[in-house]
């Protein structure tokens, strides 16, 4: 009997030795550590990860996404990261060196390289499928110029190398402000997370599809809301909203500065003040933490309305809903100011024509179309 019991114990210990290592491996597995550079990208990553985990947000307001120095805590986050999602060097330029030195083992995903994005440079739209052809044309042009100027070969080689180094800087990096681009990036994020964590691949894909559907509905709603304002004339602090504008049929008539962290020069301020006097503009948009003083100087003495648009969701809580709420806020901000400008023009027309009854009729009908925002536009 004792021998039988001893045998059972030995068999039990044998099977335990087979099971315990597996359990220990499972227990030792840590969730992947994911870092997202700025709040809009963090929002997309958080939406895809869902309940599986929470990505770490690297840069929070009021830090500039273009110019920053990492704090020790931010450096430690990069060192611990398995995956880093960012826009790319045209947006968070200081991250280029930081990723190489602090996170050499991490998978880095510059989302501006995602296939299928609509990319806009500071002059025109560049569909992704045409980008290669344009680069090929530029390369051929460079070779032709180099052949024509062989006597300056070394000098031109250096010059063109420097030019090529900055070619990517022609692309406006605020890619997330087009909901079509945001949907593409959701798929890219889901695929990258699934590769690192295959056990949760189906959940990542489902979460990405769910947020993409939310963005599609939002795009339809915003298209309807902004359809009446395609002729609006406005200035922006810097060209951060162009993806949103192009998607929804708007167009800014100029940017105050190319560097939102810096005040425009006195000559630039004077030139814009002259423009406001000569031409009608509906409004000027500034940004949170940036440009208020410059915009106030430019608008001083004019009737132009001033509003705030937030391209990086600075004033919204971080999380999966930040980007969709940011689209809502952008739509509200533009709609309210455009509506006020339209109302002012109609009332100016009343003073000129005396047709108060006609103006009031127009205003009452227009109010009914905009009451859905619930922001008391009719009182302004």
pLDDT of residue 123: 56
CATH 3.40.640.10 is right for the domain spanning 34-115+177-216: no
The pLDDT value recorded for residue 212 is: 98
Find out whether 113 and 92 touch, Cβ atoms under 8 Å: no
Dihedral angle of Cα 193, 196, 198, 201, to the nearest 10 degrees: 0
pLDDT at 70: 84
Paired strand residues for 84: 35, 108
What span, in angstroms and rounded, lies between the C-alpha atoms of 42 and 20?
Answer: 38
Q: By C-alpha distance, which of 251, 230, 223, 226 is closest to 239?
A: 251
Provide the H-helix boundaries in the chain. 2-28, 39-49, 72-80, 95-102, 128-148, 153-165, 179-196, 201-226, 242-247, 266-278, 292-299, 322-353, 356-370
| pLDDT number for residue 318 | 93
Residue 94: helix, strand or coil by DSSP?
A: coil
Q: CA-to-CA distance for 305 and 290, rounded, in angstroms?
A: 17
Q: Which residues, 6+ apart, have CB-to-CB distance to 210 below 8 Å?
A: 47
Question: Cα–Cα distance between 39 and 322 in angstroms, integer?
Answer: 7
Q: Quick one: pLDDT at residue 125?
A: 44
| Packing angle of the helix pair 201-226, 39-49 (nearest 10 deg) | 130
Q: Single out the residue of 373, 347, 372 nearest to residue 360, CA to CA.
A: 347
Query: What does the longest C-alpha to C-alpha distance in the chain come to?
Result: 114
Q: Which of 330, 284, 305 is nearest to 380 (CA)?
A: 305
Fill in the DSSP letter of residue 311. Answer: T
CA 114 to CA 201: how far, in whole Å?
19
Q: What is the pLDDT of residue 79?
A: 95
The Cα-based distances of 61 to 38, 106, 290 in angstroms read 9, 25, 11
Instruction: Give the span between the Cα atoms of 341 and 335, in whole angstroms.
Output: 10
| Domain extent listing, the chain | 34-115+177-216, 122-170
**Where do we find the tokens 């079509």?**
180
pLDDT for the residue numbered 370: 39
Strand order in the sheet with 283-286: 234-236, 283-286, 305-308
Q: Which of 344, 328, 339 is nearest to 366 (CA)?
A: 339
Tens digit of each residue's pLDDT, the chain (380 residues): 555 445 545 445 444 444 444 333 333 457 899 999 999 999 999 999 999 999 999 988 666 677 677 889 999 999 999 999 999 998 988 898 999 999 999 999 999 999 999 999 875 444 443 434 444 444 444 444 444 444 444 443 343 333 333 344 589 999 999 999 999 999 999 999 999 999 999 999 999 999 999 999 999 999 999 998 988 899 998 889 999 999 999 999 888 888 777 788 888 889 888 888 888 888 899 888 877 888 888 988 888 889 889 998 988 999 999 999 999 999 988 888 888 777 766 555 444 444 443 434 333 344 333 333 333 333 33
**Tokens coding 239:** 């060209």
Cα distances (angstroms) measured from residue 196 to each of 54, 201, 317: 15, 9, 27
């Amino acid at each position: 009997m004792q021998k039988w019991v001893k045998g059972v114990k030995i068999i039990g210990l044998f099977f335990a030795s087979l099971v315990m290592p597996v359990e220990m491996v499972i227990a030792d597995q840590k969730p992947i550590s994911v870092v997202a550079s700025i709040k809009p990208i963090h929002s997309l990553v958080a939406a895809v990860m869902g309940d599986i985990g929470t990505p770490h947000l690297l840069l929070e307001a009021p830090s500039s996404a273009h110019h920053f120095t990492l704090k020790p805590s931010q450096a430690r986050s990069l060192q611990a990261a398995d995956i880093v999602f960012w826009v790319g060097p045209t947006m968070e330029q200081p991250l280029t060196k930081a990723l190489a030195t602090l996170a050499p083992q991490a998978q880095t995903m510059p989302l501006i390289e995602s296939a299928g994005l609509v990319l806009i440079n500071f002059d025109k739209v560049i569909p992704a499928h045409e980008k290669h052809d344009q680069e090929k044309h530029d390369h051929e042009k460079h070779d032709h110029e180099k052949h024509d100027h062989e006597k300056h070969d070394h000098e031109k080689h250096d010059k063109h190398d420097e030019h090529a180094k900055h070619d990517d800087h022609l692309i406006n990096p605020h890619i997330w402000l087009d909901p079509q681009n945001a949907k593409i990036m959701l798929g890219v994020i889901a695929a990258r997370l699934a590769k690192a964590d295959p056990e949760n691949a189906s959940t990542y894909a489902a979460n990405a599809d769910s947020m993409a559907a939310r963005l599609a509905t939002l795009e339809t709603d915003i298209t309807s809301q902004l359809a009446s304002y395609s002729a609006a004339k406005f200035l922006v602090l810097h060209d951060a909203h162009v993806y949103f504008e192009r998607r929804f049929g708007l167009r800014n008539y100029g940017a105050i500065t190319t560097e939102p962290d810096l005040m425009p020069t006195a000559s630039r301020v004077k030139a814009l003040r002259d423009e406001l006097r000569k031409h009608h503009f509906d409004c000027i948009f500034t940004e949170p933490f940036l440009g208020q003083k410059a915009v106030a100087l430019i608008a001083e003495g004019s009737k132009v309305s001033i509003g705030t648009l937030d391209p990086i969701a600075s004033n919204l809580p971080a999380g999966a809903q930040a980007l969709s709420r940011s689209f809502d806020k952008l739509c509200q901000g533009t709609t309210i100011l455009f509506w006020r400008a339209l109302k002012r023009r109609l009332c100016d027309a009343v003073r000129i024509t005396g047709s108060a009854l006609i103006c009031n009729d127009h205003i009452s009908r227009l109010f009914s179309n905009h009451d859905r925002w619930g922001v008391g536009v009719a009182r302004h």
